[in-house]
């Protein structure tokens, strides 16, 4: 009877995390979707728009790092809830920005909230399931992120008012907050580990250096960081620049937007498919397959002629594997840190990934400014894919944390 109740609680926890992830995905892509209209209405130049986009990423980096650390002391639930309050409130305030500086400040705060929420969702989902199913469940959880991006794009296409994207992206998570307060349970695994820690006189301290590099975790941490840095750089380069790259190859803006929507659909499909496969087959070989697949997909996209059917197919395949590589990493990250350090470990990985989210789009901008063609840009990011894949393969030779569950 007790196991049945706990199982229902775990399913409810996963459902709440899934819905929260949809709203976070909506807010993550809201600025990119609304950017053209914001630039036109507020007379923002390209440099200012770059600072606005970077402010959100910097905020997310800081929020992920510190949110993860705080959660190892006070628990996952309330860090997640306050993070949702933060990014929901500031998303609603985004349309009220009166100049570039106010918009930078608001989007930085939005990023802090999203950054705090992301590692909490990973940690809560990871601790709500059996360790053997953890990688698959966390990976499938992130099929919700592209759903949020799809919703943002749909709102943009259905409405001429860019502010609606932020109203929906802010009010929806705020309406979810009371549900999280009432129904989201603190991680039982964390609670048990915290209780055991309180009952142990010489329990190890929670320090950043010990969490990330102690007890033979130095190499796993470095491989996880390298994998996140490179794979997220590729993903966010595509999220931010794929429509413009396609326009540069002769497609219209409307056609490029449709390919971007398919890219997000591919992300959701990939998360579900790869999350299922990784519970059935060797994770090492799944990662190897995904690495090769995204490399071939980028090569195909680079050589794409002006053919809408092929563009849709290429966008779908690239979306599956570019998103899939990152989502698979989310599923792996928690396995290399024990419960008492998991928030710090996952938070640091997400923070390093955000560095990639900043580097990737900047890399595309620099290359295009140097008169590199859109096709060449897609080929130049292949080394990042291979470095990410190589780091992940080396990760599998490292020991995972001793199970505390």
Residue 185 CB burial class (10 angstroms; 0-12, 13-18, ≥19): middle
Across 186-200, 249-263, 275-289, which has the greatest mean pLDDT? 275-289
Confidence band, pLDDT 50/70/90 cuts, at residue 206:
low
pLDDT value at residue 93: 92
> What distance in Å separates the CA atoms of residue 121 and residue 304, rounded to the nearest whole number?
37
- Residue % of the chain over a pLDDT of 70: 88
Residue 351 domain-assigned?
Answer: yes
Got the DSSP string for 28-70? Answer: HHHHHHHHHHHHHHHT--HHHHHHHHHHHHHHHHHHHHHHHHH
> What distance in Å separates the CA atoms of residue 387 and residue 178, rounded to the nearest whole number?
43
> What distance in Å separates the CA atoms of residue 334 and residue 346, rounded to the nearest whole number?
6
What's the number of domains the chain is made of? 1
Residue 66: count of CB within 10 angstroms of its CB = 17
Residue 261 domain-assigned?
Answer: yes
Residue 159: count of CB within 10 angstroms of its CB = 12
Confidence band, pLDDT 50/70/90 cuts, at residue 196:
low
pLDDT tens per residue, range 10-30: 788 888 988 898 988 888 878
Whether the per-residue pLDDT at 127 is higher than 90: the answer is: no
User: The domain containing residue 279 runs over which residues?
Assistant: 2-186+206-395
pLDDT value at residue 123: 79
Residue 401 domain-assigned?
Answer: no
Higher pLDDT, 175 or 154: 175
Whether the per-residue pLDDT at 197 is higher than 90: the answer is: no
Average pLDDT, the chain: 80
Q: Which are the contacts of 357, defined by CB distance < 8 A and separation ≥ 6?
A: 57, 60, 232, 233, 235, 236
Higher pLDDT, 117 or 138: 117
- Take residue 344 and report the two structure tokens written for it: 């710090």
The residue among 228, 223, 259 whose CA lies nearest residue 241 is 259
> What distance in Å separates the CA atoms of residue 141 and residue 14, rounded to the nearest whole number?
8
Please state the rounded mean pLDDT for residues 265-286.
80
pLDDT value at residue 88: 93
- Take residue 322 and report the two structure tokens written for it: 């570019």
Which of 119-123, 201-205, 314-318, 371-375 has the weakest average pLDDT? 201-205
Find the helix or strand (DSSP H, E) in which 328 lies.
helix 308-333
Four-residue CA torsion sign, 395, 271, 255, 103: negative
Q: Which are the contacts of 378, defined by CB distance < 8 A and separation ≥ 6?
A: 245, 298, 299, 301, 302
Residue 196 domain-assigned?
Answer: no
pLDDT value at residue 5: 58
Whether the per-residue pLDDT at 213 is higher than 80: the answer is: no
pLDDT tens per residue, range 84-114: 999 999 999 998 888 888 888 998 999 899 9
- Residue % of the chain over a pLDDT of 90: 14
pLDDT tens per residue, range 317-366: 888 888 888 878 887 777 777 777 777 777 888 888 888 888 887 787 77
Residue 368 CB burial class (10 angstroms; 0-12, 13-18, ≥19): middle
Residue 194 domain-assigned?
Answer: no
Higher pLDDT, 111 or 6: 111
Whether the per-residue pLDDT at 61 is higher than 50: the answer is: yes
Residue 193 domain-assigned?
Answer: no
> What distance in Å separates the CA atoms of residue 125 and residue 141, rounded to the nearest whole number?
8
Please state the rounded mean pLDDT for residues 207-219.
72
Higher pLDDT, 79 or 53: 79
Higher pLDDT, 203 or 385: 385
Confidence band, pLDDT 50/70/90 cuts, at residue 403:
very low
Whether the per-residue pLDDT at 174 is higher than 90: the answer is: yes
Residue 400 domain-assigned?
Answer: no
> What distance in Å separates the CA atoms of residue 110 and residue 381, rounded to the nearest whole number?
29
Please state the rounded mean pLDDT for residues 212-236.
85
Whether the per-residue pLDDT at 288 is higher than 80: the answer is: yes
Confidence band, pLDDT 50/70/90 cuts, at residue 404:
very low
Across 29-33, 304-308, 383-387, 393-397, which has the greatest mean pLDDT? 383-387
Please state the rounded mean pLDDT for residues 125-152.
76
Residue 60 near residue 118 (C-beta atoms within 8 A): yes
Please state the rounded mean pLDDT for residues 60-75.
82
Whether the per-residue pLDDT at 405 is higher than 50: the answer is: no
Higher pLDDT, 261 or 12: 12
Residue 297 domain-assigned?
Answer: yes
Higher pLDDT, 156 or 114: 114
Q: What is the CATH number of the domain that holds 265?
A: 1.20.1250.20
> What distance in Å separates the CA atoms of residue 337 and residue 216, rounded to the nearest whole number?
11
């Amino acid at each position: 009877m007790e196991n049945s109740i706990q199982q229902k609680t775990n399913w409810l926890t996963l459902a709440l995390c899934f819905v929260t992830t949809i709203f976070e995905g909506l807010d993550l892509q809201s600025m990119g979707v609304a950017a053209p209209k914001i630039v036109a209405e507020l007379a923002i130049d390209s440099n200012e728009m770059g600072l606005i986009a970077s402010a959100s990423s910097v905020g997310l980096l800081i929020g992920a790092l510190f949110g993860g650390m705080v959660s190892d002391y006070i628990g996952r639930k309330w860090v997640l809830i306050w993070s949702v309050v933060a990014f929901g409130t500031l998303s609603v305030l985004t349309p009220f920005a009166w100049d570039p500086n106010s918009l930078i400040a608001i989007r930085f705060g939005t990023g802090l909230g999203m950054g705090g929420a992301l590692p909490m969702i990973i940690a809560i989902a990871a601790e709500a399931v059996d360790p053997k199913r953890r990688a698959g469940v966390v990976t499938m959880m992130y099929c919700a992120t592209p759903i949020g991006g799809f919703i943002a794009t749909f709102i943009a296409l259905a409405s001429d008012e860019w502010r609606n994207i932020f109203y929906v992206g802010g009010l929806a998570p705020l309406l979810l907050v009371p549900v999280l307060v009432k129904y989201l349970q603190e991680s039982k695994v964390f609670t048990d580990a915290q209780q055991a820690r309180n009952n142990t006189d010489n329990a190890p301290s929670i320090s950043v250096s010990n969490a990330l590099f102690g007890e033979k975790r130095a190499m796993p941490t470095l491989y996880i960081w390298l994998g996140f840095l490179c794979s997220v750089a590729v993903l966010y380069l595509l999220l931010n620049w794929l429509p413009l790259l396609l326009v540069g190859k002769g497609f219209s803006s409307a056609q490029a937007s449709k390919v971007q929507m398919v890219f997000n659909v591919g992300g959701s499909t990939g998360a579900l498919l790869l999350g299922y496969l990784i519970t059935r087959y060797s994770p090492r070989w799944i990662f190897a397959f995904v690495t090769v697949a995204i490399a071939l997909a980028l090569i195909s996209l680079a050589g794409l002629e002006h053919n809408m059917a092929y563009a849709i197919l290429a966008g779908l395949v690239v979306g599956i594997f570019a998103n899939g590589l990152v989502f698979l990493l989310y599923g792996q990250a928690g396995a290399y840190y024990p419960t008492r350090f998991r928030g710090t470990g996952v938070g640091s990985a997400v923070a390093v990934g955000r560095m990639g989210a900043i580097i990737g789009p900047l890399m595309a901008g620099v290359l295009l400014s140097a008169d590199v063609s859109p096709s060449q840009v897609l080929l130049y990011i292949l080394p990042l894919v291979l470095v990410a894949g190589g780091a992940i393969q080396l990760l599998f030779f490292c020991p995972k944390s001793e199970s505390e569950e």
